[in-house]
Amino acid sequence: MIILKSDSVVARMREAGRLVARVLRQCAESIQPNKTTPASLNFLAERMVLEAGGFPAFKGYRGFPATLCVSVNEQVVHGIPGVRTIREGDLVTLDTGIFYQGFCADAAITVGVGRLSPDAQQLMNVTEQSLQKAIEVAKAGNRLGDIGHAIQSHVEAQGFSVALGLAGHGVGRTIHEGPDVPNFGKPGTGMLLEPGMTLAIEPMINLGKPEVEMDEDDWTVITADRSLSAHFEHTIAITEHGVEILTVE
Ligand code: MG
């Protein structure tokens, strides 16, 4: 079901989104190579969310145990923050959703720790660019396939691949609403985009092959070939006038 949002709901999601962006930035800035663990980042994120009067949307969702997903290197998404120390050269994806005054927003960033390999740097850059390109076409009158095509065409032109079986989603009243927002597609196909839609667009892009596997913890999605993966996500609102990114400070 697609829940169209009024301006007043979007205004509350904007507050949730601002908090999401602040938490992700502060977690990213706190990373110290060979010292920080994903668990310590989750602790910081949860404290910030609660102190701001928010509520972690991921914690307890289908049993997920944490406020922040931390996915390192070959981990694509849904990494449970543990005690594997973050090292120089790692690609660290931070992903969180927060409820604030009854509505939620969801975003993710991939952070490069210290000096990256050229491949890792390019993967990160291209994934972030693909999100920007997707947002540019996420306007009323276009279709879901335009979003997916913008992502797929950009990353595949660079030799990277869209991780299989994972998609963006509607967001706002709950953390996962309809519609699914695939990271691939054909232009001019799929559901019509309308004012009032609020979507989490989230390219998850692999350096190598598109196939993924589930880790033994039954949460963490990893690349089947153990190649690096990157992930950027924003919650956006489609308006009469265009598109607004809600997960910014
Ligand atoms: Mg999401």
For residue 30, the CA-to-ligand 1 centroid distance in Å is: 23
Q: According to the model, what pLDDT value does residue 1 have?
A: 80
150 exposure class (CB count in 10 Å sphere: 0-12, 13-18, 19+): buried
Interval between CA 114 and ligand 1 midpoint (Å): 26
User: From the CB of residue 64, how many other CB atoms can be counted at a distance below 10 Å?
Assistant: 15
Percentage of the chain lying above the pLDDT 70 cut? 100
Q: What is the pTM of this model?
A: 0.97
Q: Residue 51 Cα, ligand 1 centroid: separation in angstroms?
A: 23
pLDDT at res. 226: 98
How many Å lie between the centroid of ligand 1 and the Cα of residue 169?
A: 7
CB count within 10 Å of CB 129 equals: 17
Centroid of ligand 1 to alpha carbon of 119 (angstroms): 25
Question: How many whole angstroms from 96 Cα to the centroid of ligand 1?
Answer: 8
Classify burial at 58, counting beta carbons within 10 Å of its beta carbon; exposed 0-12, middle 13-18, buried 19 or more: buried
Q: Is 224 exposed, middle or buried (0-12, 13-18, 19+ CB in 10 A)?
A: middle
CA angle 172, 177, 246 (to 5 degrees): 30
Domain coordinates in residue numbering, the chain: 7-245
pLDDT tens profile 11-48:
999 999 999 999 999 999 999 999 999 999 999 999 99
Mean pLDDT of 211-217: 97
Sheet holding 198-201, edge to edge: 177-182, 167-170, 198-201, 234-238, 243-245
CA 27 to mean position of chain CA atoms: 15
Distance 59 CA to ligand 1 centre (A): 14
Average pLDDT, the chain: 97
Question: How buried is 244 (Cβ within 10 angstroms: 0-12 exposed, 13-18 middle, 19+ buried)?
Answer: middle
Q: Ligand 1 center to residue 43 CA distance, Å? A: 20
We find that the CATH architecture of domain 7-245 is Alpha-Beta Complex (3.90)
Model confidence over 86-131: pLDDT tens digits?
999 999 999 999 999 999 999 999 999 999 999 999 999 999 999 9
> How confident is the model over 206-226, as a mean pLDDT?
97
